[in-house]
């Protein structure tokens, strides 16, 4: 869904295919960084709840 939004925004702005690809890469890089930080901070607590 997020990738589709980037493609839709890029096509409506007239961006090239390279711009679309870079936008998708940037978007998913930011999502991965956010999820990594979330798992590092809250993951151990969640795992204790599952085991416990």
The three state secondary structure string of the chain is CHHHHHHHHHHHHCCCHHHHHHHHHHHHHHHHHHHHHHHHHHHHHHHHHHHC
Question: In whole angstroms, what is the distance from residue 20 CA to residue 10 CA?
Answer: 6
pTM of this prediction exceeds 0.75: no
Question: In whole angstroms, what is the distance from residue 44 CA to residue 47 CA?
Answer: 5
What pLDDT score does 17 carry? 81
> Left (φ > 0), alpha (ψ -120 to 50) or beta: where does 16 sit?
beta
Which pLDDT tens digit goes with each residue over 2-48?
Answer: 777 777 777 788 878 888 788 888 888 999 999 999 999 999 999 99
Structure tokens given for 20: 């679309």
């Amino acid at each position: 869904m997020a990738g589709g939004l980037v493609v839709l925004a890029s096509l409506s702005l007239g961006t090239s295919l390279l711009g679309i690809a870079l936008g998708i890469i940037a978007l998913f890089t930011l999502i991965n960084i956010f999820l990594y930080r979330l798992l590092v901070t809250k993951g151990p607590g969640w795992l204790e709840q599952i085991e416990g």
